[in-house]
Structure 1
């Protein structure tokens, strides 16, 4: 009886974690698109900077004031030598995501972001000379095919937004790969990650945002109507972006790797549907089919990764495998492949 109750509670907890993750993630994406399109606040660097500031303050409150999470202490030298380069990639990743949202619909942007598994595998193969099981390569075929079909049939295609989203995938993959070496030995959770990286990202982004968008922001402040409500929406998106990080931490510890992968792909479908209902961007039948193929491919990729990891004996990772080299202990597992939604 007790086991049955515990099992039911675990299922309920996992479902609750997934739903709140979906809620924060989709809300942040929709709010950012609303800011760019409806509020006419077309300043992605400034929006990203506001998100980093809110996340820095939120992480400080959670760790230092509320003491909800213990602080993982990092030496000042390691902060600059290891965390700062990660923060730079982290910053580029978020900025490119917001730039793509300015120019292309949420549905197209989310579909392109699903290309991240493919860019991760290709980068590891080309740059780090890691070798993968043939089933990993086979699982990338529907992802690549779906992206190509979606891009060709996208009715609101914009080259600037497409390139920003595509390079955002590369930045996400680079961040994931570099975490294995730069953060080796530091078992960061998402809150400690934000605690250390968000202030660096704010510092990196503040000067470019002021130089490139400062005058435009001042003009917007003087000319926009209903300024107070607009500012509330903009800063609320930053607060929700921090809550998204917290929800990611919760869902990772409440679900399995396979559940997390499937839930992540369903989240994309939810975001695409909500975006279409709100913004009514045109979507052709072939475009929707391409998006569906991509999501099915991502789910298949996650299943293959999980299956190969279960087959490998302990201590001998098979996916990826690197012959004639000492394999670094991974700091990011299959679940963390989806942590590109941070901030």
Structure 2
């Protein structure tokens, strides 16, 4: 009787641990998206490359502490120069995806950013076919139709609203009416950066499968991050100094002017690491498919929270487009599961 009681207690504690882990993963994931948006758009810190460099620096330091000191996972070594080249390639693509994603948050609402980001399976399927000639089942490709259609609906609505806002603004200026029209809800450069970030994330997934497919070279995600992050920092330092002139001086000045800013930056960078850590732990304690399904729901939660916090304008048609995309991603996950 005591053994069964102990067994049930262990199962209950295991479930509570998994629920707590998922909650922490959700919190860190949504938190870093919203804080990025706040810093880059609302706060006015318009330096996405430098912000990404802070994220990667935190990932490099904290992943080393987690592996070398806390022994979260066993440390794996880089076995050859060829393997290092592969990791560096992955780091460059990963870096491009994060920078482009942060740039897009300067111009786009989080809700629209998440809608475009949900099309990652579409780009993954395209890159997988182009680079490996790997074909999925016909049902998998069919499920990608609502994924893309939803974003087309959402972006089409935003483009139309923006054109109408600009037209009304022009007419008011012509008639001497200086009342303001709402801020345009669509930004072409931001949209292109968001699509670029989504495509780069998909490319990184495919490249990771190709470059580190060898059993001798395979690294778990925690060790891979530990080696990728410092390479990303080395790439981002010159990019930030050249493209975001005097960013270090501006950051120091902001920190002196508002002490909260430095805490925002530190907290944001730490959250960026915990996104990767909890991603790994949730996969370990559940499954990759569960992580994908939870990720779909996370996007919807992020949209709702961002609307409540930032009050960004949302149309019914735009929300229907986003919902259609999420439904498509869920169907895509199920189709992939059946093919396996």
1:4 deviates by: 4.7
Q: SS at 1:253's partner residue?
A: helix
Partner of 2:153: 149
Which of 59, 62, 65 is the equivalent residue of 1:61? 65
Within 5 A, what are the aligned runs for 1:33-72? 33-72=37-76
Within 5 A, what are the aligned runs for 1:226-237? 226-237=257-268
Tell whether the 8 Å contact from 1:114 to 1:294 is kept in structure 2 after alignment. Answer: yes
Within 5 A, what are the aligned runs for 1:95-174? 95-154=99-158, 156-174=185-203
Partner of 1:252: 283
1:224 deviates by: 7.5
Q: SS at 2:123's partner residue?
A: helix
Partner of 1:189: 220
Structure 1 stretches lacking a partner, 5+ long:
310-343
Tell whether the 8 Å contact from 1:39 to 1:230 is kept in structure 2 after alignment. Answer: no
Distance verdict in 2 for CA 1:295–1:197, change over 3 Å: same
Distance verdict in 2 for CA 1:256–1:67, change over 3 Å: closer
Partner of 2:91: 87
Distance verdict in 2 for CA 1:9–1:66, change over 3 Å: closer
Partner of 2:321: 290
In structure 2, distance between residues paired with 1:210 and 1:216: 7
Tell whether the 8 Å contact from 1:257 to 1:306 is kept in structure 2 after alignment. Answer: no
Q: Does 1:28 align with 2:57?
A: no
1:237 deviates by: 0.5
Distance verdict in 2 for CA 1:224–1:136, change over 3 Å: same
Distance verdict in 2 for CA 1:26–1:89, change over 3 Å: same
Distance verdict in 2 for CA 1:100–1:35, change over 3 Å: same
Q: SS at 2:74's partner residue?
A: coil
Give the greater-gyration-radius structure (CA): 2
In structure 1, distance between residues paired with 2:219 and 2:254: 43
In structure 2, distance between residues paired with 1:244 and 1:26: 9
Tell whether the 8 Å contact from 1:71 to 1:192 is kept in structure 2 after alignment. Answer: yes
1:26 deviates by: 0.4
Name whichever structure is richer in helix by fraction: 2
In structure 1, distance between residues paired with 2:255 and 2:77: 44
Partner of 1:335: none
Tell whether the 8 Å contact from 2:240 to 2:247 is kept in structure 1 after alignment. Answer: no
Tell whether the 8 Å contact from 1:221 to 1:227 is kept in structure 2 after alignment. Answer: no
* Structure 1 segments (4+ residues) deviating >3 Å: 1-11, 219-226
Partner of 1:209: 240
Partner of 2:172: none
Q: What TM-score do the two structures reach when normalised by structure 1?
A: 0.85
Q: SS at 2:132's partner residue?
A: coil
Partner of 1:277: 308
1:258 deviates by: 3.9
1:128 deviates by: 2.8
Q: What TM-score do the two structures reach when normalised by structure 2?
A: 0.86
Q: Deviations over 1:145-192 (max 9, x none)?
A: 111111111251111111111111211111111112211233322221
1:131 deviates by: 1.6
Aligned residues: 309
Partner of 1:333: none
Which of 223, 229, 239 is the equivalent residue of 2:270? 239
In structure 2, distance between residues paired with 1:259 and 1:178: 22
Distance verdict in 2 for CA 1:124–1:6, change over 3 Å: same
Partner of 1:314: none
